[in-house]
Amino acid sequence: MQLQKNISLKKFNSFGIDCIARDFVIFKSNNELIEIAESFQNSILDSHFILGGGSNILFTSKKIDCIVLKNELCGIQLLRENEEAFFVAVAAGENWHQFVLTCIENGWAGVENLSLIPGNVGASPIQNIGAYGVEIKDVIESVEAYHIADKCFQTFSAAELDFDYRDSIFKSRWKNQFIISKVIFRLNKVPNFKISYGSIDAELEKMGIQTLSIRAISDAVIRIRSSKLPNPALIGNAGSFFKNPSILKQDFDQLKIQFPEIIGYTNKNGSIKIAAGWLIEKAGWKGFREGDAGCHANQALVLVNYGNATGSEIFTLSEKIIESIHKEFGILLEREVNIY
C-alpha cells in the first residue's frame, strides 16, 4: 500500500476524463483497507472517493481534492451449495464480465443476461445493475462492506439493501459510509432462461442455436451489446447516462396520442417506464456531437467522449438534453451516472 500524489485518473474511468487525484492509494486486501482507514482516518472521514472500475462516473472537475481509494480486492470462491444453488463469494475489485465468464465456465446460472456490463463486482449492488430482464438483486444473497466510521466489516442480506431500479441503500441513506468488500451470489444449478427481453430470442435464432444454454445466452447478449453500445476502450462512455423515467399511466396515454410510436413498459405498480433512448432520439440528439462530447449514434441513452472532452462538457450536453426532453415531452430525465 502506497500513497501517491497528483495521479491522473484518465485511465481509471471509462469516460476517459482527465482528472487529477490529490491523494491516491490502492488496496488489495481487507487488511490494507483497515490499515488505510486507520492511518488516513481523518481525511477519509472528511472526504474520500472510492474508485472501482470507474465505469459509472463522470468527473466534472479538473482535480479531486481528497483521497481516492482504489478497490483492487480480488478472489472468487465457491462457499457452499445446496440442492438448488451455488453460493459464491466475489471480492469487490473483480471485473464484472470476467466473473460472468467464470460463472458460464462453471455452470453457475443467473448472471448470463448481464454479460459485458463494464465495471467491477463491488459497484454492482450500489446501482443494482441490470440488463435484458435481470437485475443483480435477483442473485445477491448478501453483501459484505467495511463501515468507515465504525472501522468494522458488516454483512447485509439482500433484503436489507432497499434494492430498486438502478438504486440501493448505498446510493441513499448509507452513501459514502461503506466500502463494499465482497458480494455473495446465489447462482442456480438449473438455469431459468430469460430470452424475451431486448430481442435475445431473435439473436439466438440468428446464431442458429437449437439448444438453450447459459453460454448461448451470454454470447447472444454480447453480440447485441457490441452492436449497439460503444466499447469504452475505443470511445469513452459510461453506458446509459440517464435512467428510463417512469410516469403515470394517464400521462403516458396523453403522450401516446401525440406520439403513437412512444415506447413504454408497464411497471408492477401500474406506472409506465419510458425508453429514454427513444425520447432522446425523437428530440433529435442521437448522433449529435459538439467538440468531443456526443450522443452515441446507435444508442441515444449513451453519452460519449470522442477523445478530449472534459467532464463539464459532457455534463453540459446532458443538461441540454434534459432541458430539451422536458420541453418536448414534459418528462424530467434523471442521470444514472454518478457525477463527481
Of 37, 44, 301, 304, which lies in the binding site for ligand EPU, with binding defined by CB under 6 A? Answer: 301
Span interacting with ligand EPU, options 35-43, 67-75, 91-99, 299-307, rule CB under 6 A: 299-307
| Residues in a beta bridge with 156 | 143
Q: At what angle do helices 96-106 and 214-228 cross, to 10 degrees?
A: 150
Question: Pattern 192-231, binding to ligand EPU, x per CB under 6 A?
Answer: -----xx-----------------------------x---
User: CA-CA distance, 220 to 218, in Å (whole number)?
Assistant: 5
Residues involved in catalysis: 166, 240, 336
Of 263, 283, 322, 331, which lies in the binding site for ligand EPU, with binding defined by CB under 6 A? Answer: 263
In this structure, what C-alpha cell is assigned to residue 90? 466475489
Span interacting with ligand EPU, options 34-42, 79-87, 156-164, 274-282, rule CB under 6 A: 274-282
222 versus 263: smaller Cβ distance to ligand EPU: 263
Q: Is 295 in the site for ligand EPU (CB under 6 A)?
A: no
Of 34, 209, 262, 275, which lies in the binding site for ligand EPU, with binding defined by CB under 6 A? Answer: 275
Shortest separation between residue 301's beta carbon and ligand EPU, angstroms: 5
Q: Is 264 in the site for ligand EPU (CB under 6 A)?
A: no
| Residues in a beta bridge with 49 | 68
Q: Is 182 in the site for ligand EPU (CB under 6 A)?
A: no
What number of CA atoms fall less than 13 Å from residue 271's CA on the CB side? 8
User: CA-CA distance, 288 to 281, in Å (whole number)?
Assistant: 10
- Cα torsion angle, 111, 114, 117, 122, sign: negative
User: CA-CA distance, 76 to 81, in Å (whole number)?
Assistant: 15
